[in-house]
Chains A and B, each alone.
Chain A
Amino acid sequence: MSKIVFPAETLELVKKIIARYPEGKQKSALLPILHLAQAEWKWCSPEVMDYVASLLSISSIEVYEVASFYTMFHLEPVGEHVIEYCRTGPCCLMGGVEVYDHLKKRLKINTGETTKDGKFTIKEVECLAACGWGPVFQIREKYYMHLTNEKVDEIIDELSK
């Protein structure tokens, strides 16, 4: 991995985010900046977290303890597309279990694994607040709703191109 530094425009954004909080409370920018870091480097490696700590003038442990608390931060390398499917009650009622089984079969991996070509990682997450539109999974910022086996195939086909 090359040297870990945000591009100039992201650094501008970091400054703006820190300015949202009173002086001396820059630690509040931690979650927003961890999201930026993960968007940049795909996962929060110790080096990335150390860099985030340096941007906020806080100690590395303050970043580690936060990144490891929140589900969204990947503490291990992930594939190009991280598929996070909702496994909570309402999505299961709508046939989620079958659809997610199909997804795993299609990609030939289990939850928590990455395909050999590094294209896809599957993660299991809790309720995504889209219960009426379930089953649901999320890839980055995009929600995929009303999933069926056929729809899953279409999405995977599209992303495999």
Chain B
Amino acid sequence: MKILTEHIDVPNIDSIDVFMKHGGYSAVTKAIKKMTPDEVTEEVKKSGLRGRGGAGFPVGMKWSFLAKPEGVPRYLVCNADESEPGTFKDHYLMWKSPHTLIEGMIVSSYALGANTSYIYVRGELMYVINILEKAIQEAYDKGLLGKNILGSGYDLDLFVQPGGGAYICGEETALLESLEGKRGNPRNKPPFPAVKGLWQCPTVVNNVESIAATSWIVNNGGDAYAAIGVGRSTGTKLISASGHIKKPGVYEIPLGITVEDFIYSDEWCGGIRDGHKLKAVVAGGSSVPILPAELILTTAAGEKRLMTYESLSDGGFVSGTMLGSGGFVVMDETACIVHNTLTFAKFYHHESCGQCSPCREGTGWMDKVLHRIEHGQGRKEDIDLLVDVAKKIEGNTICPLGDAASWPVAAAIRHFRDEFEWHIEHPELATKPGAVFMRKGASWTK
């Protein structure tokens, strides 16, 4: 079942004529000519579509919070700041099929009553920005954007805004600050963007994938979308698969397939690269807890784990993780957990905006302590120190970056404490190039 990527490999699908030949922009015609904005919102609510950027908040509900005071403009801002390590699905979708996003932007803007919308793309993806701008011009030329779209009286202008290289701008209020030409410092909430967002006007911020899915929902109905998936995990999800698998790439999966299938089936990742065994997975982008092989394939209760919001988080943070943004990083037995955790800690240290002390200072401490463990200078008390620092960041910051920074460190120690101890107790072995700890009796150890 493919919703977003059905035609992604059609040659020249980035051209509007080819895109329309494959049914593109039919959702715009249907929504604008046959539906009221509220009817579109109603279908999105029925679909059960959840925010695909990582938080998983129901999109229709987010839309329904949008304040609609008379005479005040409302905005839709697409979050294409994709920067979560392990995640590259939005990059792929916008690069290959820009009109899929633009169609969704028109449909969603119509539902929200926005007459100006922005797509905020991370600045590094300047070549994708050029692709989007060309596609937007094509849509203007066809009368799908601009004044009086398809003779309906509805006006919409759509612009692309480049970021400047800052992970924090993926947080929606930091993104809005950035779009206002400021440093990306997250705002205190409330007020939420739905009430006071861009230039203090009511604003909805949605991820690329969420917005792109709304076209299919308009065309086929919310019920049809909700029929895909399991329970509250409806529809399809783009998964960015990377690491030690045979076929890294972006896959659109119906939510509800088993994790085992996703990793080993030829339809998806194709299994672990030849001659190696699965050691661990970071299932939803660098922020979510890493799980060892046995816990990613089955829950602590012994049930097969599914690619759904609920199944991946089964067991809480004791034995579970999160679907997050769908950044699925696979590691075989050659991966050093300490080194990988250090790369993530460095990332958060670099990306902390510096507003809140626990995050600004704590991410630096975690980076420093992990650095010395990795480089053979770890102290016995360092492991507990890391756990303590992580705990003191978590929940004590304005935005979720603090949590995102502490979870991967805490989880790596929770599930691979012996590997950290080995680094500290055997620095001469651990610092040898290519040396990796082998847990006795583990499924990934020969």
A interface residues with partner B (beta carbon < 8 Å): 20, 22, 25, 27-32, 34-35, 56, 58, 62, 65-67, 69-73, 87-90, 92-94, 125-134, 138, 140-143
What are 26 A-B residue pairs whose CB atoms fall within 8 Å in the complex?
Answer: A28-B181, A31-B162, A31-B163, A65-B183, A66-B181, A67-B164, A69-B183, A69-B353, A70-B164, A70-B165, A71-B164, A71-B166, A71-B350, A73-B165, A88-B347, A90-B85, A93-B242, A93-B331, A94-B242, A126-B83, A126-B347, A126-B351, A131-B242, A131-B243, A133-B88, A143-B127
User: Can you name the residue of chain B whose Cβ is closest to the Cβ of A22?
Assistant: B199
Contact indicator A32/B161 (Cβ below 8 Å): yes
B53: Cβ under 8 A from any A Cβ: no
Please indicate the chain B residues that have their CB under 8 angstroms from the CB of A129 in the complex. Answer: 82-83, 87-88, 90-91, 122, 124-125
Chain B 162-184 interface 0/1 with A at a Cβ cutoff of 8 Å (1 = within): 11111100000000001111111
Residues of A within 8 A of B159 (CB): 20
What 0/1 pattern do residues 69 to 83 of B give for CB contact below 8 A with A? 000010000000011
Q: Which residues of chain B come closer than 8 Å to A126, judged between CB atoms?
A: 83, 85, 167, 347, 350-351
Q: Which of A66, A132, A134, A138 contacts B183 (CB 8 A)?
A: A66
Q: Which A residues lie within 8 Å of B331 (CB)?
A: 93
Chain B residue total in the interface (Cβ 8 A): 59
* Chief secondary structure at chain B's binding surface: mixed
The verdict on B343 contacting chain A, using a C-beta distance below 8 Å, is: yes
Q: Whose C-beta in chain B lies nearest to the C-beta of A30?
A: B181
> Is B56 part of the binding interface, using a Cβ–Cβ cutoff of 8 Å?
no
Asked if B429 CB lies within 8 Å of chain A CBs, one says no
* Interface residue B340 (Cβ < 8 Å from any Cβ of A): yes
Interface residues of B in 70-112 (CB under 8 A from A): 73, 82-88, 90-91
Interface hub of A20, A30, A72, A126 (most chain B Cβ within 10 A): A126
Q: Tell me the interface secondary structure of chain A in the complex.
A: mixed
Task: Give the docked Cα–Cα distance between A2 and B99 (Å).
Answer: 42
**B339 adjacent to chain A (CB < 8 Å):** yes
Nearest neighbor of B158 in chain A, beta-carbon distance: A20
B248's partner among A20, A92, A132, A141 (CB-CB below 8 A) is A132
What residues of chain A lie closer than 8 Å to B73, measured between beta carbons? 22
Bound Cα distance from A88 to B244, whole angstroms? 15
Closest CB of chain A to B260's CB: distance in Å?
20
Interface residues of B (CB under 8 A from A): 73, 82-88, 90-91, 116, 118, 122-127, 130, 157, 159, 161-167, 178-184, 199, 240-244, 248-250, 282, 286, 327, 329, 331, 335, 339-340, 343-344, 346-347, 350-351, 353
The one of B85, B116, B164 that contacts A72, using a Cβ cutoff of 8 Å: B164
Q: Other than A20-B161, A27-B180, A127-B286, give 7 A-B pairs with Cβ distance below 8 A.
A: A35-B123, A72-B124, A72-B164, A93-B329, A126-B83, A126-B350, A131-B240
Task: Give the distance in Å from the alpha carbon of A127 to the alpha carbon of B116 in the complex.
Answer: 30
CB neighbours (8 Å) of A90 from chain B are: 85-86, 242-243, 329
> Which residue of B is nearest A69, CB measured?
B183
Partner of A132, one of B130, B157, B250, B353: B250
Q: A94 — which chain B residues lie within 8 A by C-beta? A: 242-243
**Most-contacted residue by chain A among B164, B248, B353 (CB, 10 A):** B164
**Choice from A70, A73, A141 contacting B127 with Cβ under 8 Å:** A141
* Cβ A72 vs Cβ B83 within 8 A: no
Say whether A133 contacts B329, CB under 8 Å.
no
